[in-house]
Structure 1
């Protein structure tokens, strides 16, 4: 099987710019919703899509491994951008990714963008939101309907930000011919309930459904960017367009050098009709200039949308703590090795005398691994050549008693040698 897809992204009726990014290709569907307001969520979402879209050029094997790897590459790249430009501090993005191998979807999900599956006329939500209101729903404190008007409905708990550890949801979905997939940002699923989504997805082809979803979201009062990707699962023999589609900030950023402010809507229309988009509303503190005549909040809600982000100024403290832990572990390991060496002994030579050393018979630059512990009255020259060689190389032991026994044996051998050589010396003197 293969995918017949369509993708559309619209700045919406209120936002000044589009911070959503989307990609649809033969093997890959991905939606990213940038978070951060003035911190340029459009850069975060387009950067993530830039990393994720590479999956479409690879053989879709080990679906979950490839998806997880791409998400972590996006995470790392956003972290690099923030390090290079402190003005991007606070930026992050959601990500909902579907990698298709012909029969199965490998899904990766972070944030509150969503993926749905329509099968046999029944709609199933594949992903679970990482949001504050979702935790309230899970605890039974509010309903799905109440979550749509909750004052903290836009507060997400997970995002790709290049700072926090990334823990995406990863799972697989088996597909059938005739299935229809929807990936969308919260600009759509935040205002359209399951019933409305189902009604739209049941009608027309993928192209029509994508445009109708955006139009319906704007009519329902969405104040956010709206991005929808619709894909039909069809038999491989069917004909269709397989050109990848790039939408939203990922498609717009390369053109930012031109006079975008005077161009109005970036949506260029569609054969199914206009989406009903209005001109972006300029930001202003004047009530007359605010959306729908309501005075604008001096703090962009997007700047506070990702709840768990700590101030960037504490990043150095985290690195310092990690370094301190590593140094501590190395110190404990070194102390353990040193303690072990001080329980070892060997018999060696010191100033021509057989000596017991404490430590190990080894050398490290700048570190003495042993020191003389007990000196005997046995001179090295009085031993046999074999024993001299052994002592010069060092005879190692695991305890002091064994080392002392060896010195006693060497002393006994020395006495035996003197006893056997003395008569021969006298005989030679007498003759």
Structure 2
């Protein structure tokens, strides 16, 4: 007997990030989540490129289901390599990838990075994938607990990702599907914040659409500072509704996805997360093309009439000019002070005296003015890095904040050649 997938997918930019570096796809045969690695160049481009390559798997697979999953992951990695080759400025971009391919009776999974896949079966939630992160290695060695890993200073350090350079092999495995199973894929914006118990509680009720929305909402309410992407799919003996189309979300989506209040399965959440308590989807309400009915609108002045209209005699012209100049000077000072204050809240990683250093300020200079200064000098030597990594450090690597900059330094520290 063939089984079917009923699915939903939601991606939210979150409360802190300026852009969504997550991408996701859900279809009748394929579920996948990719998360652009923070601190790298154009993580949004890496994740969307990977998903666009992986979504070609969305058709009923043959017997070699794991071979098809591996092939899809390798093609995504190759596509990222092509992008870097076409534009060397993208060198360093990378993404995680978690892929679940369904054939009507079983799932074939491929995984690389720290996005996750879970199975909710008969009231029990089980994590299927194993994170390729530094903190996961500490958990495996018994040095820290899962709970401690959520606040570990090196929790953002990923050991394996798709970057088009290292060509890492994904974890591959399969398992049989059962009617009533619920599959959950997510970026670390969700699993890095919610406990297993909290996720199980949400996944235990409602439709896939309801569960996906509630998982995103709960992640934001719990304080997630990352993008949040959740895909929920039910395994059913009943065919999916005819109007359930494949869903593309996050950076990979061509246009912002919206739905009216009470919209259908898998629709975007519209204003659901908007506001202080519920986060912000990053969507801006459209400006109406016409004024609302009954609103007062003045008639526009006829251009010719305005051109020839006599002007009233002016008084105290010199005083007006002085006041205008004073106001402009004050505004200029406020703008400059605000810009300087903002610049000193920015961080990037660069080279200072041959050491990988965290700089405070902007990675740019004005004639005679330096907009940054060394903030933290590390013991990571630039000359011990690979040529590609050393070049990236010398050019400067932007960071979202100080913690992100420190995570980038830890990443290069783990990759320096100390032999």
**Taking structure 1 as the reference length, what is the TM-score of the superposition?**
0.63
Q: 1:188 to 1:289 in 2, by over 3 A?
A: farther
Q: 1:27 to 1:151 in 2, by over 3 A?
A: same
CA distance, structure 1, for counterparts of residue 36 and residue 410 of structure 2: 10
Contact 2:25–2:51 (CA under 8 A) maintained in structure 1: yes
Structure 1 residues not aligned, in runs of 5+: 256-264, 315-431
CA distance, structure 2, for counterparts of residue 305 and residue 172 of structure 1: 36
- Pairwise CA distance, 1:286: 7.2
Higher helix share: 1
**Cα offsets for 1:393-416 (capped at 9, x unmatched):** xxxxxxxxxxxxxxxxxxxxxxxx
Q: 1:309 to 1:8 in 2, by over 3 A?
A: farther
- Pairwise CA distance, 1:27: 0.2
Residue 329 of structure 2 corresponds to which residue in structure 1?
none
CA distance, structure 2, for counterparts of residue 114 and residue 197 of structure 1: 12
Contact 1:155–1:305 (CA under 8 A) maintained in structure 2: no
Q: For residues 224-243 of structure 1, what are the structure 2 equivalents within 5 Å?
A: 224-237=226-239, 239=241, 241-243=243-245
Secondary structure of the structure 2 residue equivalent to 1:128 = coil
Q: 1:188 to 1:237 in 2, by over 3 A?
A: closer
Q: Greater CA deviation, 95-104 or 233-242?
A: 233-242
Residue 34 of structure 1 corresponds to which residue in structure 2?
36
CA distance, structure 1, for counterparts of residue 33 and residue 84 of structure 2: 21
Residue 55 of structure 2 corresponds to which residue in structure 1?
53
- 1:120 counterpart = 2:122: yes
Find 1:82's aligned residue among 81, 84, 103: 84
- Pairwise CA distance, 1:173: 1.4
Residue 307 of structure 1 corresponds to which residue in structure 2?
411
CA distance, structure 2, for counterparts of residue 110 and residue 270 of structure 1: 36
Secondary structure of the structure 2 residue equivalent to 1:231 = strand
- Pairwise CA distance, 1:61: 3.5
Secondary structure of the structure 2 residue equivalent to 1:90 = coil
Find 2:206's aligned residue among 204, 210, 231: 204
Q: For residues 3-402 of structure 1, what are the structure 2 equivalents within 5 Å?
A: 3-37=5-39, 39-57=41-59, 59-237=61-239, 239=241, 241-252=243-254, 271=262, 274-275=272-273, 276-278=278-280, 295-298=345-348, 299-300=399-400, 301=404, 304=408, 307=411
Q: 1:54 to 1:237 in 2, by over 3 A?
A: closer
Residue 329 of structure 1 corresponds to which residue in structure 2?
none
Contact 2:61–2:68 (CA under 8 A) maintained in structure 1: no
- Pairwise CA distance, 1:304: 2.2
Contact 1:35–1:93 (CA under 8 A) maintained in structure 2: yes
- Pairwise CA distance, 1:191: 0.2
- Pairwise CA distance, 1:60: 4.2
Secondary structure of the structure 2 residue equivalent to 1:93 = coil
Secondary structure of the structure 2 residue equivalent to 1:71 = helix
Q: 1:296 to 1:66 in 2, by over 3 A?
A: same
Structure 2 residues not aligned, in runs of 5+: 264-268, 283-336, 349-398
CA distance, structure 2, for counterparts of residue 285 and residue 35 of structure 1: 30
- Pairwise CA distance, 1:154: 1.2
**Taking structure 2 as the reference length, what is the TM-score of the superposition?**
0.65
Secondary structure of the structure 2 residue equivalent to 1:183 = strand
Contact 2:154–2:410 (CA under 8 A) maintained in structure 1: no
- Pairwise CA distance, 1:242: 3.6
Q: 1:24 to 1:308 in 2, by over 3 A?
A: farther
**Aligned-residue CA RMSD in angstroms?**
3.1
CA distance, structure 2, for counterparts of residue 85 and residue 201 of structure 1: 42
Count of residue pairs brought into register by the alignment: 297
Structure index of larger Rg: 1
